Amino acid sequence: MNLLGVSGSLRAASLNTALLRAAQNLAPEGVTITPFSLRDLPFFDQDLEDEGDPPAVVAWKEAIRAADGLVIACPEYNGGITGVLKNAVDWASRGKPAPLAGKLCCLFGASPGITGTVRAQDALRLSLRRAGARTEPQGDVLVGQAHLKIVDGVLTDERTIEGLRRHLAGFVEAVRG
Ligand SMILES: Cc1cc2nc3c(=O)[nH]c(=O)nc-3n(C[C@H](O)[C@H](O)[C@H](O)COP(=O)(O)O)c2cc1C
């Protein structure tokens, strides 16, 4: 099974990208999570789209289409999702069929605050569903106080590690149907 891994943060020391790296190591046997950087995606612009998708958008859409599901590390900015992530969802909601249509998505997120991106993940679910994607049936993975649980880019908190492992296992079962 090949899953596509996406982080909604571009910064090198991102807690969410670190969580995605941890997920890559915690995926069940036989499951690969291949990371895709959103850095090169231009801002969505319908004029650009009308001229033909730019190469970075073509790559993004093809990566989604080729994947069995998406694994998304979702940071929270001002109670919502990052512009980077919303922009990526908007591009992937376009086309017939839209690349996101029918795709199952696994969400988790990390923040230094105690609520651990719950608002952003709720907002992301809404946007994904509007785009025709499906979100996983299992509960949330909300990593609050993440700066204490991710040290030098490595997830060290045992409870979070186990929670993420279970979350991924449940998601993989859902993808297998
Ligand atoms: C513009 C901005 C807005 C933020 N708003 C929130 C917020 O609403 N809730 C929250 O928990 N953290 C918020 N934060 C703190 C982020 O959770 C924190 O910077 C986190 O490390 C970002 O994710 P990253 O480490 O993956 O880059 C905000 C940070 C920025 C830069």
Domain harbouring 78, CATH code: 3.40.50.360
Q: How do residues 138-156 score in pLDDT, each as one tens digit?
A: 678 999 999 999 999 999 9
Nearest alpha carbon, ligand 1 atom 30: 77
Expressed in angstroms and rounded, the spacing between residue 111 Cα and the centre of ligand 1 is 6
Taking only the tens place, the pLDDT of each residue in 83-139 is 999 999 999 999 999 999 999 999 999 999 999 999 999 999 999 999 999 997 667
Q: Which of 77, 81, 124, 151 to mutate to test the pocket of ligand 1 (most atoms within 8 A of CB)?
A: 77
The answer to whether the predicted template modeling score (pTM) of the entire model surpasses 0.85 is: yes
Other beta carbons within 10 Å of 35: 15
For 135, the enclosing helix (H) or strand (E) is strand 134-135
Work out how many domains the chain is built from and give that number: 1
Compute CA 146 distance to the chain's CA centroid, rounded to the nearest angstrom: 17
How far is Cα 43 from Cα 83, in angstroms, rounded to an integer? 9
- What residues make up the domain containing 32? 2-176
- Write the CA distances from 143 to 19, 54, 107, 146, 157, integer angstroms: 9, 35, 12, 6, 10
Cβ atoms < 10 Å from Cβ of 69: 23
